[in-house]
Copies of this chain bind each other. A is one copy, B any other.
Amino acid sequence: MFHHSSKLQYTVKVDTPDPQFAKLLQQAIGGIEGEIRVAMQYFFQAMGARGDSRIRDLLISTATEELSHIEFLGHAVALNLEGAPVTAQEEAAKDPVVNAILGGANPRHLLSSGLSAMPVNSNGVPFDMSHIYATGNIGADMLANATAEAGGRVLASRLYNWTSDSGMKDMLSFLIARDTYHQQQWLAVIEELGGMAAALPIPNSTPEDHEAMKHSYYYLNTLLDKKAPEGRWSSGPSLDGRAEFHVVDQPAPEGQEPDLGKARPNSGAQTEQI
């Protein structure tokens, strides 16, 4: 069960409201790299967690923190929209900021939300929940979570680089820090469960006789005019310790040429196909 306290998790201060930056910040709320995504992803993983109950606690607890991130980012968006013009007659409409409303800002901040945050990304595209990755496999889920936090920290760093507002830089430095930890938190779960080598291949419960293992350890180089690039992936022991990596260059097809024959009567095809 969830509870709430009235103050924000972190102080939000905007020195110079900027409707253009409000639009960019939306990516951190409703983008695939954003906070709705991680909050909901951890929440749904928690609701399906099986096995070690500590992991369930980690998931629900971190989902709760991410909800608080949505909250202070939403406040930051609203503060950046303070003073944006709402009528063409306003004095402000002669300022550069006004043109920004139509030029670089999200018009729905004016038209739809009444100058506050929306669950959309920086293009105004609403977040959709197909991005909640929750497989029921803890290995796959922890990688998905580290990925989400990596994407989130890339985004927060780019926003930090873009803005020159010291309040916004302060808030983003907090997000960058929390993403630093959360990347490692999820990878640490893999360590706790025996480390990456033991986790691979995910799912590590798939019996070996379900797998055509002669195809499990080679890099398939489909490039017609180049040798396979060499590196950790092309030779040496596999990361899961089961075999040696090798290379198959410019492979030939192993299968048949597909042929579905004629279409059936009454199947809606043209007569010529039947």
**If the complex has contacts A71-B2, A103-B103, are A233 and B139 also in contact, measured as CB distance less than 8 A?**
no
Quick check: A47 and B116 within 8 Å, CB to CB?
yes
* Cβ distance A246 to chain B, nearest Cβ, rounded Å: 10
Interface centre among A116, A127, A268 (most CB of B within 10 A): A268
Quick check: A211 and B173 within 8 Å, CB to CB?
yes
Question: Interface size for chain A: under 10, 10 to 19, 20 to 34, or 35 or more residues?
Answer: 35 or more
Interface centre among A2, A119, A188 (most CB of B within 10 A): A2
Beta-carbon contacts of A151-172 to B below 8 Å, as 1s and 0s? 1011101111111100001101
Complex Cα gap A122–B53 (Å)? 29
Complex Cα gap A252–B68 (Å)? 12
* Cβ distance A74 to chain B, nearest Cβ, rounded Å: 4
Quick check: B50 and A260 within 8 Å, CB to CB?
yes
Complex Cα gap A219–B178 (Å)? 9
Interface centre among A111, A158, A229, A251 (most CB of B within 10 A): A111
Residues of chain B with a CB closer than 8 A to A120's CB: 123, 129
In the complex, the chain B residue whose C-beta lies closest to that of A143 is B147
In the complex, the chain B residue whose C-beta lies closest to that of A127 is B129
Quick check: A111 and B181 within 8 Å, CB to CB?
no
Q: Is A15 interfacial (CB-CB < 8 Å)?
A: no
Residues of chain B with a CB closer than 8 A to A219's CB: 58, 181, 185
Residues of chain B with a CB closer than 8 A to A184's CB: 200-201, 233, 238-240, 245
In the complex, the chain B residue whose C-beta lies closest to that of A162 is B88
- Which of the residues B229, B263, B266, B271 comes within 8 Å of A87, measured between beta carbons? B266
Quick check: A273 and B151 within 8 Å, CB to CB?
no
Quick check: A53 and B263 within 8 Å, CB to CB?
no
Quick check: B112 and A155 within 8 Å, CB to CB?
yes
Quick check: A113 and B269 within 8 Å, CB to CB?
no
Complex Cα gap A36–B74 (Å)? 18
Interface centre among A47, A78, A226 (most CB of B within 10 A): A47
**A/B interface sample: 15 pairs, CB < 8 A:** A3-B250, A7-B256, A31-B112, A33-B112, A52-B272, A58-B233, A89-B164, A115-B136, A123-B125, A137-B268, A144-B147, A158-B267, A160-B206, A185-B219, A191-B232
* Besides the known contacts A5-B252, A6-B223, A173-B210, 12 further A-B residue pairs in the complex with CB atoms under 8 A apart: A48-B117, A50-B114, A51-B262, A52-B272, A75-B258, A126-B128, A139-B150, A140-B147, A154-B203, A169-B210, A184-B238, A188-B233
